[in-house]
Structure 1
Amino acid sequence: MAASASPSASVPERRGIPAASFVEDVQIYLSQIGLDVNSALAFLQERLQQYRVVEMKLLAQQRDLQAKIPDIEKCLDVVATLQAKKGTGEALTADFEVSEGIYSRAHVEDTDSVCLWLGANVMLEYSREEAMALLQKNLENAKASLEVLVADLQFLRDQVTITQVTIARVYNWDVHQRRLQQAATTTSES
């Protein structure tokens, strides 16, 4: 059974990424989509380019999440350390970054609250318990998002491979057809 990837046909997708179909029989594929070899190759090259653009976006999102997760884990460690020091009367000594490359040392006395940057220049004060819950939830969400991104990237790489194979099959089929025509022309002239 021949599978096709028509520009107008609805194809299954994963989170907006259209699935590529493996082409078993190029001649049937070309007749189903109603394109000549050059148009089919142009369509497939365009689809391949679209996959590359999506891949770059997903890779950027993956890098962002991979940078975000250690930051969240560091925040969790700090809040856990504050929690562990609670009631001991012992101050926590920490070095923190004031600006890029400039650090300062702070002595944090027993405190019941912490301030967390939420982004967009917004900082809110939370109890240690609320901060731990929020950070844990953010960490779980970031890890889950990373898993989905990794699965999306794998799906995308599979579609790129299928499309590249299809391009090669269509091109090789065209070369083979031209050779057959040339051989038939040479034979009929003899």
Structure 2
Amino acid sequence: MPSILFRYLAKEMLKVTLAVTGVVLLIIMSGRFVNYLAQAANGSLNADILFAIMGYRMPEFLVMIIPMGLFLGIIMAYGRLYAENEMTVMGACGVSQGQLLRMTMIPALGVMIVVALLSILVAPWGIKQVETILHQQDSMTEFDTLVPGRFQKFEGANRVTYTESLTDDNQQMDKVFIAHQSAD
């Protein structure tokens, strides 16, 4: 009986953990994506690197989200057992609180190992990759980030720039408009 109970409890905990982690990750990633999209829209970030940045930042978010998902998974699994009076039946069948704790700790240890690997190995690597990408972005000139057909105001410069079209290699612009406001 304990192996059937273990599989049931582990399945319920991990199912809720994955669902909560997925939903919260989607919410956090969409919020971050909107911020990066706004930076790309005003020309301070290249639009081609948005998904790369999001992918490299995902392990950093998962390190924070997965433990919360596990906690809610444990609460939901045990709540369901108590709500359907299955805990009373298990107690009457001789399943102790210690056995339930051990059955809960096995999937929790697996999740703990995944979070440890993410936080020790994967997340720092992802952060380093994002810093490299952003450093490359900072070294680009404002003309490298021009989007054809849009007026763009660049931070720190009192200038608005517009180009109707760019060549494929971004070396030549056609129909350029630049307005500069002096600081006087």
| TM-score for both structures, normalised by structure 2 | 0.36
Between 1 and 2, higher relative CO (CA 8 Å, sep ≥ 6) is seen in: 1
Q: Higher helix share goes to which structure?
A: 2
